[in-house]
Amino acid sequence: MKDRLAAFRFRLNDNLGYKAASLLFAVLVWVGVQSQHRVEERARATVRWTLPEGMAFVEPPIEVVTLTLEGVQALVRTVPQRALTMEVDLQKASAGDVSVDLGQRPVSGLPEQINVISVSPAQLRLTLDRLLKRRVPVTPATVGKVAEGYRVVALTVTPDRAELEGAATLLRSMDSVPSGEADIGGLRDDQDIEVGLGLRKGLVATKIGRYVVHVDVEPIIIERRFDFVPVVVQSAGWSSTTPAVSLVLTGPQEAVTAVAADAVTVLVTVPAARTGNSAEARRSRGEGVRYEVVHGAGEAVRVVSVEPPTLKLVRAPPP
């Protein structure tokens, strides 16, 4: 066993310098092959447009193109870390349709050893028009719905005008520009909401600022009828010949719908000094016997009507 181990060590260490040189040569050959191996790779380049003074695109052009590149593998691998740009100079173009061949445009940021095989898209057809500035009204835009039982009374936006810049074809047909969408979801009260402008592509605002949409919210007013509302006489010795009435309440939808039917009561109070064996109770204020409709919904809820409007009361005979 010891003889075999010694033989193995001898073979391992025999001609060590030659073996190291062979390994180094192999590595150098591999590096050389890799440095000469050509591959294809895709990358993205930002397009920079140069237009004639006083001209604009009718529709915004693309801002990024996809390049198919070819070159040695070692260099191609570095491309994703580079900022590639394609300059497109249209300063000699005039108003109207323009054909652009992107496949013939130089790309900045590429090593010289890398070639552009193709560009996608390779051909574009664009339209140029005269650059125009115009002040237009700003209309408020919203998203969402106010809380159940409420409604939007009015929407206003401040400032109410914006100066826009863009192709004359676009601006001439515009009567107004929408504000950014103000989220009114769940609102129960008036609110001011800061937004931007809802500009379509191809237009810019000459002054960048914030716009405020004022939302005027109010509760929806409804009426609700209650039947068989009990009449309770609070004064001892008196009773009502009408045990129940029908009545109508009005007020904010949220409050009126929350009123429980068994929470509505008509309370009658007879003054202690009242004489006679009968009386009439009315809801109107003043002297005499009055009754009150109790519903527990607060002052925002009012009584519209009571049927019958007058209650007949009788004095109970003494025991």
Note whether 232 and 264 are within 8 A (CB): no
pLDDT for 103-139, tens place per residue? 888 898 888 788 888 899 999 999 999 999 999 999 9
Segment 146-155 shows an average pLDDT of 96
Report the Cα–Cα distance between both ends of the chain, in Å, rounded: 131
Average confidence (pLDDT) over 17-36: 53
Average pLDDT over every residue of 45-74: 89
The mean pLDDT of 136-146, rounded to a whole number, is 96
- pLDDT value for 16: 58
Give yes or no for residue 42 having a pLDDT over 80. yes
- What class does CATH assign to 131-219? mainly beta
Give per-residue pLDDT as tens, 256-301. Answer: 999 999 999 999 998 887 888 899 999 877 677 899 999 999 999 9
Predicted confidence (pLDDT) at residue 5 exceeds the cutoff of 90: no
3-state secondary structure of 100: strand
- Average confidence score pLDDT of the chain: 87
Residue 2 dihedral angles phi and psi, to the nearest 5°:
-65, -35
Residue 319 has what pLDDT?
A: 59
What whole-number percentage of the chain has pLDDT above 90?
Answer: 59
| CATH no. of 221-315 | 2.170.120.30
Q: Is the pLDDT of residue 25 over 60?
A: no
Q: Tell me: pLDDT of 215 over 80.
A: yes
Tokens (6 digits) for 142: 């919203």
User: What is the CATH T-level fold of the domain 37-130, as seen in this structure?
Assistant: RNA Polymerase Alpha Subunit; Chain A, domain 2 (2.170.120)
User: Which of the listed ranges 91-100, 181-190, 235-244 does the model predict with the highest average pLDDT?
Assistant: 181-190
- Percentage of residues in the chain with pLDDT exceeding 70? 87
What distances in angstroms separate CA 160 from CA 109, 166, 196, 218, one per listed residue?
45, 19, 12, 23
- pTM summary value: 0.67
Residue 146 exposed, middle or buried by CB count within 10 Å (0-12, 13-18, 19+): buried
What is the predicted pLDDT for the residue at 18? 58
The Cα–Cα gap between 212 and 293 comes to: 44
Band (pLDDT 50/70/90 cuts) for residue 27 is very low
pLDDT of 29: 43
Helix (H) and strand (E) counts in the chain: 5, 22
Three-state DSSP state, 7 = helix
